Structure 1
Amino acid sequence: MATDAAKVRTIAITGQGHAGKTSVADALVFAAGGSNRLGRVDDETSVFDTEPEEQRRRSTITTSLFSVAWDKHQITILDTPGQGNFILDARDALRGAAGMILVLDPTSDPRAEIGKVWSWAREDGIPTLGFLNKLDRPEINIDAYLARLGDAPEVRPTLLHLPIGADEGFKGMASIVSGKAFVYDGAGGKFQTTEVPADLTDRVAELKATLVEDAAEGDDELLEKYLDAGELSDEEGMTGLKAAVRSGSMLPVLCGSAAGNLGFPQLLDAVVALLPAPIDLGAATGIDSGGNTIEIAPDPSGPFSGFVFKTVIDPHAGQLSLVRVMSGTTAGDAQLINTRADDKERSGHLLRLDGQKTQQVDGATVGEIIALAKLKHPHSGDTLADPAHPVKIRPFAEANPAISFAIEAKKRGEEDKAMQGLLRMCQEDLALKVERDESSGEILLSGTGQLHVEVACERLVRKYGVEVELKAPKVPYRETIRNSVKAHGRLKKQTGGHGQFADCRIEVEPLARGGGFEFIDKVVGGTIPRGFIPAVEKGVRAGMEKGVIAGAPVVDVKVTLYDGQYHDVDSSEMAFKTAGRMAFKEAMQQARPCLLEPYVNLEITVPDECMGDVMGDLNSRRARVEGMTQVGHNQVIKSKAPMSEVLLYASDLTSMTSGRGSFEIGFSHYEQLPEHLLSKVVKDSGVEHQGE
C-alpha cells in the first residue's frame, strides 16, 4: 500500500565539499531510528558513503538514499556530492527531491558554499532550509558569517535557532519560533526542553520580531494584519514562514553539530513542518504525445508518470533506475511506456534503496522514489508513463565535460573491455563521457575535473578488472602551406616482366582557413587516361594523411592535376596513386609548410573578486578575451585560447576560484602555431622536420 502523499518528504542534502553533508545525513538517519548506531565518515561506518573510493577519500562521489520515519511522515534523504569534480551528480539528484537542506560550514567562505546548488534549487523552485554545522568549533562568529552569506545573490538567511554555548561548550539551541531551548547531554542525541537561558532572552525576542515581520511579507493577508496589529499569532507566523520557504524568499537557518550529534530531532521537525509535501508543490511541465506543452499536476489519483533521475548498477539487482513519482500511484507490475524510446515496459517489483540495501515495497505515490530493475533501455532523464497518457518530462541538460584524458589499457587487448566498462559507468554518471577520437584513434575519457576522471579509472579496476593509464590527449594539430608551387611525381621501375610507370604534374595552392581540400582535373590531350585520374587523387589524399613538419594531417589545400605521362603496359592505378603521393610530398616541402593549432571558445564564469587572477592566467595561456558580462556577483568572460594551453584548465580554474568558477569549452578554429613553439611540438611528435 502506498504512503499517504501528504506525509511524504524527499530532501536532498547539499553544500560545499567537507561542510559535513554526509555526517548530517547520517545523524538524521540515527535520530529517526533508521540505524541503531551513528554512522561516521571517518571510521567508514556511514550508511551513505559506502563506495571504497568514497571511504578512501572521506568524500561523497555519488548520490545515495535512505528513507526514515519521523512524526508519522516518510522522509527520504538524498546525500549528494559537494566536491566540484562531482557536483553535477548533485544537480541531477535535485530532480529527485522536493526539498533541500543546505549544509553550511561557518569555518568556510559562505559565498563558496552557496555556489551552483543554490542556483539550481532556485531555478527548479526547490524549498530550502539551511543547517549551520560545526558550531562546536572554536571562534565561530554566526552574525558575521550570515552577513556574508546574505551578500550572495537571492539569499536571505534568517536564524531559527540561537546556539547555547560556544566552542566545546556548545550544548544546544534556543528556538526563535517556540521560545524554548533544547539542551543536550553529551553526544547520544538526548536533550531536554527548557526555558531559554536568561542571557539569550532579549536576543531571542529581537530575532522573533524580525522573523515575524519577514514571514508576514510572504503573504499579503498576513502582512496587512501585521501592519494593523503589530503582531501575529504563532500559527499565523508559521503559515507565513512556510509560504516564505516555499517561495524561496527566505532561507531559514537551524543550528547544530554533526560531530557532536546535536540538533537533528529539531531539524527533522523542521523538515516536516516547513518543507512542503510534493503534492503541495506546483505542477511539472511536460509534453504530450502531440507535442503540446502541458502541466503535470502532482495528483496521486491522476495518471502515473515518473522521472528517472538516476541510474545505478547494483551488484545483486543489476541496473536499477531510480524514479521519482511525479503523478499517480502504482502498486508495481504495471504496464508503462518509456516516452523517449517509445518502449513498452513492465515495472515489476517496486524497490526502495536504503544505502546499500534494497527492499521491496507494495506501492508508491507522488514524491516517493522507487527503484525499478530490468527495464529495456532506460536512461537517466527518461519519463515512464501510463501508456494511455504518454507524457515527457523535461530531461536533463547535457553536461559539457571540462577535461579529457586519453586512456590506454595496461594489458594489450583490453581496450574493448575498458570501453565497455566505461560505457556502463557513463550510464550511472551523466557527467562522464567516453568516445574514440576519429583523428588519433585514442579512447578519450572526459569529465568535470581530473579527480572525476581518476576516480572513474579506479572504479573501472574494481568493477571490471581493467587497469588503464591516463595520458594527456593528443592535440589535433594540422599542417598546411603558405605558397603555391608546382611539383612532379614520377614512378618508373623495371624488374622483369611488366614494370611500373606513372608520371603526374600537379599545382598545389593554399586555401582559406577551413577550406578543406579541393582536387581539380585539368588534364587535356589524354596525357593521363581518365581511368587513372582518381588514382592520382587517392595518392594525394594519402600524402595528406601525414605532413612533413610533425606528421599531422594536411588541410586547406587545392591540388590541380594538369599534365603527366603513362605507358600502355606498365601503367596502373597503383602506379598513379604512388606518383600522386610522391608529387604531393615534394610540393609540401617546397610550399613553405606551417603547423596549425586548434583554438577553443571558452566561456568562463567567475566571482568578481577572482577576475584579476583569472584574466592574468588567460594572458599567460595566449588567450584572447573577446568580451565580459556582469551577471549578479559574477563575471562571464568570453575568450578564445589555444587548445594545448587549456587541456587541464578545469583543475587550474578550481584552484584560482576556490571551486566557484566554471566554464564551457568548444572548438573554434585553427591558427598558425607561433614559430618559437614549433620545435617543441615537432620534438614531441617524433617526426624529423623537413619544412622551412
Structure 2
Amino acid sequence: MGDRTRAHSGAADGAATPCPPASVRNVVLVGHSGSGKTTLVEALALTAGAVNRAGRVEDGATVSDYDEIEHRQRRSVQLSLVPLEWDGHRINLLDTPGHADFVGELRAGLRAADAALFVVSAAQEADAVAGAARTVWEECAAVGMPRAVVVTHLDTARTGFDAMTGVCARILGGDDPDAVLPLYLPVYGPEGADGHRRATGLTGLLSGRTGDYATGVRREGPPEPGRLPLIEEARGRLIEGIIAGSEDETLLDRYLGGDDIDLATLTGDLEKAVARGVFHPVLAAAPAAPGARQGLGTVELLDLITAGFPSPLERPAPVVTAPDGSARPGIGCDPEGPLVAEVVRTASDPYVGRISLVRVFSGTLRPDATVRVSGHGLTGRGHQDHDLDERIGSLSSPFGGQQRVLDHCAAGDLACIGRLTRAETGDTLSGPDDPLLMEVWPMPDPLLPLAVRAHGKADEDRLSQGLARLVAEDPAMRLEQNPDTGQLVLWCLGEAHRDVALDRLRGRHGVQVDAVPYRVALRETFGGPARGRGRQVKQSGGHGQFAICEIAVEPLPAGSGVEFVDKVVGGAVPRHFVPSVEKGVRAQAARGVVAGHPLVDIRVTLLDGKAHSVDSSDAAFQTAGALALREAADAAPIHLLEPVAEVTVLVPDTYVGPVMSDLSGRRGRVVGTEQTGAGRTSVRAEVPELEIGRYAVELRSVSHGTGRFSRAYARHEPMPQAVAERLRARESGQESGNG
C-alpha cells in the first residue's frame, strides 16, 4: 500500500465519468486551520493528473486548473469537492474548513465521506496542534470514521516528523497509542539556505523500499544502508501494531514464535485494519516543487486511499424512515435500489443560482427526474417542515471553475445539482412514489447572537428572504425573532461564522444590514408592597372620561407572572368595568414601569374606585388601571430581573481551574463538576445571560480551543444594584448617542 509506483489513470476530462460503488472512494480532509488541507488536495489532484500547471488562456488571461482550485478553495468557508481518478478508482476529495466556527461544514463532510485524511502541520507548535486536533479527531471518532494521519510542512517544521508522530499517538491514540504509527519514514536532503532540510523521499516500513521525489517524479529504489537500523526498529513497531489490530488471532502467535510474516499478509491486514477504523497510519506529504509533476508522498497517499480506505459498499448507510416518521427497511449502497440521496451542501452562484451538492446513498440519480424533497424542519433554527416534489435539472461534477456534465450519479457517488430551488442542506431526495427521510446528522448549537436590522427602507423587503436563504444554506445558523425584545437575531457559532453571515447577506443576497447590540430579555418586579391611585377625569365637550381606581401591589415568588384580584365592595367600580381595570394593569405591566421591561411576579388587588353613570367607559378604566400601577411603582423599590442560564462546559482536565475561575468572574455559581472520561470534565454552573453573550468566543481563549458548552434558560432573578445602575447608565448613553 503506497509502495507501488503507478501512473495515474485519470485525466481532467475523465473526472466526470461515473463509477460503480466498489470503485468509489469518498475521502474528507479534516484538520485545524493552517494545517495544509487545501494545498494537499491540490498536490493530490496534480499527481493524479486531474489538474495541471501548464496554464490555459481564458478571456485573454492565462490561468491553470491548479490555480483555479487553489483560488476557489482558499476563499471558501464551505465544504468543497474535488474529484479525481487513480488506478481505476474515482476519488472524491472533500475539503473542509479548519476553523472551529465551521464545524457544521466538517460534519457535513463526515456525512458525505467514508474515510478521512487527518491533516496536521509540523510547522505549528506541538501543544497548539494537540489542542486543535483533539476536538476534530473526536468529531471523526463519534461517527466511526476510518482515518489516516498526514503530516505536512516538514520543510518548515518546528516539530520533526518523529516528534509529531509521537504527539499524534499520544493525543489521538488515547488508550492505544500503537494504533497511530508511521507507515513511512521521510528521507531528508541536505540543509538549504534557510536552515531547513527538505524531505525528498519516503521509505516504506513494510516493503523496505524508498520512493525518491527529488526529480519531481517518484522513483523507487533501495534505502540508504545507514538508515537500515532506524527502519528496522520502526518496522518492528508497525508490525506489532498491525498484528494487534488484526482479525487473525493466530497471527500474534506466529509472530511471537519467530515466523517471518510475509509482506502480502501484513499489507492485507493493514488495509483491513485501516478500513475498520482500528488502525490509523501516519504519512508525510508536501506539494510539488515548481516544475515537478508529483509532490512528496502523494503517490503513497493515493495508493492508501484506493487500497486501504473503504468503499461505500463497506460503510453502513444512515437510518431512513417515511416522512411521517414511520419505520422503513434499511437501505444499502445499491444502484438498483430505491433512490435515497442527501443534500450535504447548498451554495449560491451569481451566474447559475443555487447549487446543491448531494451524496447518493441508494439508487441512481438522473437528470430531469422528479424527486421528493423532504426536510426535517428544524423549526427551532428557522426551518419549516417540507415534503414536496421537484424536478431536478442537470447533474455535474466540479472541475476547477467548471461543472462537468454527468449522465447519472449512482449509489456511493457525489454530484452537483443546479437550480434545486426548494432543497436545503440536510434534506433528503427520494423517489416521489416511495418517499424516504434520512436521519439528520447532529447540528452544532449556535451560541453567539447577532442582532440585525435592515440598513434602509429598500433593504426591509429583501431582509427576510435573504435570511431565509442564509439559513437554508447553513443549518448551523439559527434565526430567531425574539418575542421579548422584538430583535431579529441570527445565532452563529463564532465571530468568523458571524462575519461570513454578514458578508453573504450583503454580497450574495444583496441585503445591506446593520449589526446592533444584542439585548437580553430583562424583567422588572416590585421590591416591596405599595399602593397606587389611578384617576382619569376629563371633560372636553360631549361625553367625558371618568374613572378612578385604587390598587395594592405586592411581590410574589419568581415565576408567578401577574396576578389580578378583585376586592371591590359595594359596587364602587361596576362589575363590567373590573375587567377593564385588569386589562389596563396588564397592558402597563407588559410595557414596564421604570426601564421599559415587562413587569412580573406581582399580585395587583383592586380595592376601591369611583364611576360616573354617563362618563365612565372601558377605555377610561383601562387608563386608570395603568395610571394606578405607575403610581404604585413610584412608591416602591423596583428591581431589575435578569435571565440566568444553566451552563455546562466540557473541557480537558487541564483547563478546569481556568474555566471555573472565568465563570466566577462572570457572576456565575459553579454547582458541580463531573468526570466524563478520556481526561475531560463537565463543569455545571448558573450564569447571568448578560455575562455570556460572547462566551462562545471567549471559552476558546480560556481553553485553547478545546472546550465546548451548552446553555439553557433557568429563571429570572434580581440583578445586583450596582450592575443595574451600570446597565441603566449604559442604556442612557446609547439612547443619547442615537439621538
Aligned to 2:284: 255
Q: Distance in 1 between matches of 2:54 and 2:156?
A: 20
More divergent stretch after superposition (521-530 vs 200-209): 521-530
- Secondary structure, counterpart of 2:624 in structure 1: helix
CA contact (8 A) 1:519 1:559 kept: yes
Q: Distance in 2 between matches of 1:98 and 1:338?
A: 24
- Secondary structure, counterpart of 2:664 in structure 1: helix
CA deviations 1:288-318 (Å, max 9, x no partner) are 5772264322223322211222222232332
Deviation for aligned residue 1:164: 0.6
Which runs of structure 2 are paired with 1:193-592 in the superposition (5 Å)?
Answer: 193-221=220-248, 222-223=251-252, 225-227=254-256, 230-258=259-287, 260=289, 261-288=295-322, 291-292=326-327, 294-340=329-375, 341-375=386-420, 377-592=422-637
Deviation for aligned residue 1:62: 1.2
Paired AA for residue 282 in structure 1: P
1:552–1:687 distance in 2 versus 1, CA, 3 Å: farther
- Secondary structure, counterpart of 2:112 in structure 1: coil
Q: Distance in 2 between matches of 1:116 and 1:567?
A: 73
Aligned to 1:597: 642
Q: In the alignment, which of 26, 31, 35 is matched to residue 42 of structure 2?
A: 26
Deviation for aligned residue 1:509: 1.9
Aligned to 2:6: none
1:635 aligns with 2:652: no
CA contact (8 A) 1:8 1:73 kept: yes
CA contact (8 A) 1:80 1:93 kept: yes
Q: Distance in 1 between matches of 2:428 and 2:33?
A: 31
CA contact (8 A) 2:43 2:286 kept: no
* Unaligned residue ranges in structure 2 (runs of 5+): 1-16, 56-64, 190-195, 290-294, 376-385, 735-739
Aligned to 1:161: 184
1:671 aligns with 2:717: yes
Aligned to 1:72: 88
Deviation for aligned residue 1:63: 1.0
Q: Distance in 2 between matches of 1:683 and 1:201?
A: 74
1:371–1:594 distance in 2 versus 1, CA, 3 Å: same
Deviation for aligned residue 1:413: 4.8
Q: Distance in 2 between matches of 1:331 and 1:494?
A: 78
- Secondary structure, counterpart of 1:170 in structure 2: strand
1:62–1:376 distance in 2 versus 1, CA, 3 Å: closer
CA contact (8 A) 2:46 2:66 kept: no
Task: Give the total of aligned pairs.
Answer: 677
Q: Distance in 2 between matches of 1:489 and 1:284?
A: 65
Deviation for aligned residue 1:244: 1.4
Q: Distance in 2 between matches of 1:118 and 1:327?
A: 28
1:677–1:44 distance in 2 versus 1, CA, 3 Å: farther
Q: In the alignment, which of 93, 117, 127 is matched to residue 136 of structure 2?
A: 117
1:687–1:21 distance in 2 versus 1, CA, 3 Å: closer
Aligned to 2:666: 621
Paired AA for residue 203 in structure 1: L
Paired AA for residue 686 in structure 1: S
Q: Distance in 1 between matches of 2:524 and 2:466?
A: 36
- Secondary structure, counterpart of 1:541 in structure 2: helix
CA contact (8 A) 1:479 1:596 kept: yes
- Secondary structure, counterpart of 2:531 in structure 1: strand
1:70–1:220 distance in 2 versus 1, CA, 3 Å: closer
CA contact (8 A) 2:41 2:93 kept: yes
1:48–1:568 distance in 2 versus 1, CA, 3 Å: farther
Deviation for aligned residue 1:501: 0.7
- Secondary structure, counterpart of 1:351 in structure 2: strand
1:45 aligns with 2:67: yes
CA deviations 1:22-66 (Å, max 9, x no partner) are 111111112211211299xxx993515527xx53xxxx5111111
More divergent stretch after superposition (68-77 vs 515-524): 515-524
Paired AA for residue 130 in structure 1: V
- Secondary structure, counterpart of 2:629 in structure 1: helix
Deviation for aligned residue 1:523: 3.1
Paired AA for residue 240 in structure 1: D
Q: Distance in 2 between matches of 1:338 and 1:425?
A: 19
Q: Distance in 1 between matches of 2:397 and 2:629?
A: 66
Deviation for aligned residue 1:8: 0.5
Q: In the alignment, which of 136, 142, 147 is matched to residue 128 of structure 1?
A: 147
CA contact (8 A) 2:546 2:616 kept: yes
Q: Distance in 1 between matches of 2:21 and 2:586?
A: 66
* Unaligned residue ranges in structure 1 (runs of 5+): none
Deviation for aligned residue 1:282: 3.0
Deviation for aligned residue 1:384: 1.9
CA RMSD of aligned residues (A): 2.5
CA contact (8 A) 2:255 2:261 kept: yes
CA contact (8 A) 1:284 1:297 kept: no
Paired AA for residue 169 in structure 1: R
1:300–1:497 distance in 2 versus 1, CA, 3 Å: closer
CA contact (8 A) 2:369 2:392 kept: yes
- Secondary structure, counterpart of 1:171 in structure 2: strand
Q: Distance in 2 between matches of 1:572 and 1:587?
A: 23
